[in-house]
C-alpha cells in the first residue's frame, strides 16, 4: 500500500486510541509488522498555547517509522498552526485529521465527527491544511453524523478534491459511538468512488475479519482489537503471505506487558506509568484463567517492582495450565 511517496510494508494500520496510542505502546507494534501506526489525537489549540502535556504527546520512540500524528480541532488558523507544528517539529511521515471522534468534549469544540455535518467547511479546512504543509495529509472519518445524515461518500470525494493522500473510515456514525456493528458496505462504496487509498476500520478482531475486509479496500485499521491481541497484526500478515499463523502464548503477553511498563516509565515516570498499565493489563489478560484477582491486584499497585512481581507470579501460575 502506498500513500503518496510512502510505501507501507503492510496494509495493516494501528488506529489512534485516545489515552492508549502513546509512544511506548506504538513502538511495540512495529516489530509485529504494522505498516503504519497513528498517534492518539492531539489538540490544535493545545499546541498553539504550548501546553506541556500536549507537547509531550508528540514525543516519539526510536524506530517509530512510518508514523502518522493525528490532529483535531475546528478553526482554520489553529489547525494550520498545529499541522505545521507536526510537519516541522516531529518525525511523523503523515498528518492525520480527526473527523471521526464522537465524544462530547471533542464535539463541544466543533471538532472530530462534528465536522461531518458541513462538507463545504471540512473541504475548506482540509484544503488549507494541505496547502500549508509538506507532508501528506490523511483524514479519518465516520459514515456521517447520525443515521439520517450518512454522507461519507460525499465527504470522501470532497477530501480527495482537497488533496488528502488517504482516507480512513470507521463504519459507524457519530450517534452510534461504538455500539452495534460496523457497516462496511458504505466503506466499500467509497472505494469505488475515489482514486486515493481507502482504509476501513471497525470490528476487526480476527484473521478472518482482516482477510475479508482486505478483499475490498486498500488497507485495514485496527484499534481496540490490538489492546488484547497486538499479535493480530502479524497473524493477518502471515495469512496474507501464505505463512503459518503464529500462536499467541501467555508468556508472549507477559513479555509485552513488562516491556510496555518499562517503556511507559521512561516516558511518563513510574507513578503515572504503573497506573496507566491497569488498562493495558486488563485488556491483555482478558479471557485468561483466574484473571479477576490479578486485575484487582494491579489496580492497587504503584511501583515498577510490585508490577513486575505481580505479572511474573500470575503468568507463572498459568504454566501448568498451558
Whether residues 38 and 116 fall in one domain: yes
Q: Which residues on neighbouring strands pair with residue 44, listed in sequence order? A: none
State mean pLDDT over 214-239: 97
Domain extent for 313: 250-318
Instruction: Write the CA distances from 59 to 62, 80, 227, integer angstroms.
Output: 10, 20, 21
**Residue 98 domain flag:** yes
- How large a percentage of the chain has pLDDT more than 90? 98
pLDDT in tens, 108-149: 999 999 999 999 999 999 999 999 999 999 999 999 999 999
State mean pLDDT over 249-274: 97
Please give the Cα distance from 46 to 97 (Å, whole number): 15
Whether residues 164 and 264 fall in one domain: no
pTM for the whole structure: 0.95
Q: Are strands 36-38 and 67-72 parallel, antiparallel or unpaired?
A: parallel
**Residue 159 domain flag:** yes
Across 69-85, b (16+ Cβ under 10 Å) vs e yields bbbbbbbbebbbbbbbb
Q: Indicate which CATH number applies to the domain containing 273.
A: 1.10.1200
pLDDT band at 319 (very low <50, low <70, confident <90, very high): confident
Whether residues 65 and 178 fall in one domain: yes
Where is the domain boundary, 176, 205, 240?
240
Whether residues 150 and 67 fall in one domain: yes
Question: What is the Cα gyration radius of the chain?
Answer: 20
Q: Residue 237: is its pLDDT beyond 70?
A: yes
pLDDT band at 320 (very low <50, low <70, confident <90, very high): confident
Where is the domain boundary, 188, 213, 240?
240
**Residue 84 domain flag:** yes
Taking alpha carbons only, the member of 65, 12, 8 closest to residue 222 is 12
Taking alpha carbons only, the member of 4, 7, 3, 25 closest to residue 16 is 25
Whether residues 48 and 132 fall in one domain: yes
Q: What are the catalytic residues?
A: 101
**Residue 293 domain flag:** yes
**Residue 301 domain flag:** yes
Q: What is the pLDDT of residue 223?
A: 96
Q: Are strands 67-72 and 42-43 parallel, antiparallel or unpaired?
A: parallel
Whether residues 11 and 148 fall in one domain: yes
Mean pLDDT of the chain: 97
Question: Do 116 and 146 meet the contact criterion of CB atoms below 8 Å apart?
Answer: no
Q: What is the pLDDT of residue 322?
A: 65
Q: Residue 217: is its pLDDT beyond 80?
A: yes
**Residue 245 domain flag:** no
Q: Indicate which CATH number applies to the domain containing 56.
A: 3.20.20.70
What is residue 24's DSSP assignment?
H
Whether residues 186 and 165 fall in one domain: yes
Whether residues 33 and 139 fall in one domain: yes
Cell 463545504, residue located: 120
**Residue 70 domain flag:** yes
Q: How many structural domains is the chain composed of?
A: 2
Whether residues 179 and 314 fall in one domain: no
**Residue 125 domain flag:** yes
pLDDT in tens, 35-87: 999 999 999 999 999 999 999 999 999 999 999 999 999 999 999 999 999 99
Whether residues 220 and 257 fall in one domain: no
Where is the domain boundary, 240, 265, 299?
240
Whether residues 260 and 199 fall in one domain: no
Whether residues 74 and 149 fall in one domain: yes
pLDDT in tens, 167-194: 999 999 999 999 889 999 999 999 999 9
pLDDT in tens, 17-29: 999 999 999 999 9
Q: What is the pLDDT of residue 86?
A: 98
Amino acid at each position: 500500500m502506498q500513500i503518496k511517496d510512502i510505501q507501507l510494508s503492510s496494509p495493516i494500520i494501528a488506529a489512534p486510541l485516545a489515552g492508549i496510542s502513546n509512544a511506548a505502546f506504538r513502538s511495540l507494534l512495529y516489530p509485529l509488522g504494522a505498516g503504519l501506526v497513528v498517534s492518539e489525537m492531539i489538540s490544535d489549540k493545545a499546541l498553539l498555547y504550548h501546553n506541556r502535556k500536549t507537547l509531550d504527546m508528540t514525543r516519539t520512540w526510536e524506530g517509530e517509522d512510518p508514523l502518522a500524528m493525528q490532529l483535531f480541532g475546528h478553526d482554520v488558523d489553529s489547525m494550520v498552526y498545529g499541522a505545521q507544528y507536526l510537519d516541522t517539529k516531529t518525525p511523523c511521515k503523515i498528518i492525520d485529521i480527526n473527523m471521526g471522534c464522537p465524544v462530547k468534549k471533542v464535539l463541544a469544540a466543533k471538532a472530530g465527527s462534528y465536522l461531518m455535518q458541513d462538507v463545504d467547511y471540512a473541504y475548506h479546512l482540509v484544503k488549507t491544511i494541505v496547502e500549508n504543509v509538506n507532508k501528506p495529509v490523511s483524514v479519518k472519518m465516520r459514515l456521517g453524523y447520525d443515521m439520517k445524515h450518512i454522507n461519507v461518500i460525499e465527504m470522501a470525494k470532497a477530501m480527495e478534491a482537497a488533496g488528502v493522500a488517504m482516507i480512513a473510515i470507521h463504519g459507524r456514525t457519530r450517534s452510534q459511538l461504538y455500539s452495534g456493528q460496523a457497516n462496511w458496505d458504505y466503506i466499500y462504496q467509497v472505494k469505488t468512488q475515489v482514486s486515493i487509498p481507502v482504509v476501513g476500520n471497525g470490528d476487526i478482531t480476527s484473521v478472518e475479519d482482516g482477510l475479508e475486509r482486505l478483499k475490498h479496500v486498500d488497507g485495514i485499521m485496527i484499534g481496540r482489537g490490538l489492546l488484547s491481541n497486538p499479535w493480530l497484526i502479524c497473524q493477518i500478515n502471515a495469512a496474507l503471505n501464505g505463512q503459518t499463523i503464529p500462536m499467541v502464548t501467555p508468556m508472549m503477553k507477559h513479555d509485552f506487558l513488562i516491556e510496555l511498563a518499562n517503556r511507559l516509565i521512561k516516558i511518563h515516570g513510574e507513578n503515572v506509568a504503573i497506573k496507566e498499565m491497569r488498562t493495558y493489563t486488563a485488556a491483555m489478560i482478558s479471557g485468561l484463567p483466574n484473571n479477576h484477582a490479578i486485575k484487582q491486584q494491579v489496580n492497587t499497585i504503584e511501583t515498577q517492582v510490585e508490577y513486575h512481581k505481580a505479572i511474573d507470579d500470575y503468568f507463572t501460575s498459568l504454566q501448568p495450565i498451558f
